[in-house]
Amino acid sequence: MHALVTGGGGFLGRYIVEQLLDRGATVRVLCRGEYPELNALGVEIVRGDVRDAETVRKATEGCEAVFHVAAVPGVWGPWQRYYSINVQGTENVLAACRSAGVTRLVYTSSPSVVYDGKPHVKADESLPYPDGDSYLCHYPHSKAIAERLVLEANGAHGLCTTALRPHLIWGPRDNHLIPRLVQRARSGRLRQVGDGTNEISMAYVENVAAAHLQVGDQLQPGAAPCGQAYFINEPEPVLLWEWVNRLLTTAGLDPVRKTISAGAARRVGALLEGIYTLFRLPGEPPMTRFVASQLSQSHSYRIEKAERDFGYRPVVSVDEGLAKLEPELRALAQK
């Protein structure tokens, strides 16, 4: 198979690339940065931006399958930035797939596309998209628009599409979630939001990458995954703050002891959003309404649909994943 991975130099994208290479696939990556480690693996690198339609078209030529992972994450920033990368970038990928005769497209989405401000406890894919005005930040809103475009494109021009929604991806080489968590703990700025009873689903990165390949294998006209979205995470949820403290103690740090109520955190988030907007402050607020809700509410999801439709199965256990992550945790705690 000749496959394109957009965002293949990123956290999840690189694991997808490596697993494709392990299968003997020919892999091309569309990315903005330089990744000598991918060149050393024999990966073809196309430097460019998903917002550039011509670059995306050239990167897609000759490919049978596309794994569209590239996106701008985060909880703060102008709508146009999120829209141009997450939505218009996806439109460019879809147009390139049609032009190049690609037959399989796997889109990396997020459970936040269906977040309606309420707790989700072992929810399934029957959750509807909320109204556009209900989103608390631009990332989930833009990802929801893009996901719908991908699923609506299924079946046109011989293209089979699907969307995966991994929840809270963690593991070695994470350059976002784990480093920020450890840094805040070390600086004494980490606080438990809420009463600590909220459960969440986690997704180990190698398992998420494997899910992309597993569903990609099944994409052919009439197959169950075509035009469908799937939650991807570990089978059993965890209590968020117990999990955070497990990570911190593994790193050799003290567990979180300071707390703030969910209501207070949300009020602080709303205030900070207003201040950052009014005064056009750089960076992002240390708390937002979206972050307060994510840290205090339950967000757990069922994976039976993925298990049934394409045989999703984790390839690494939680304990194995934590053992792989431990050296990085300890190194981060010493910085």
Which one of 15, 107, 135, 139 is the catalytic residue? 139
**How many of the other CB atoms lie within 10 Å of CB of 95?**
15
Q: Are strands 299-301 and 120-123 parallel, antiparallel or unpaired?
A: parallel
Give dist(CA 194, CA 292) in Å, integer.
Answer: 9
Number of helices followed by number of strands (H, E) in the chain? 13, 15
Which tokens belong to 212? 């992309």
Please count the other Cβ atoms lying within 10 Å of the Cβ belonging to residue 91. Answer: 18
Q: Which amino acid is at 112?
A: S
Question: What stretches of 153-261 show up as alpha helix (H) in DSSP?
Answer: 177-187, 205-218, 240-250
Is 139 a residue of the active site?
yes
**Strand (E) positions, 130-187?**
160-166, 169-170
Give the residue among 148, 172, 129 at the shortest CA–CA distance from 321: 172
User: In 3-state terms, what secondary structure has residue 226?
Assistant: coil
Q: Can you tell me the distance from the alpha carbon of 125 to that of 306, in angstroms, rounded to the nearest whole number?
A: 10
Annotated catalytic residues are: 139
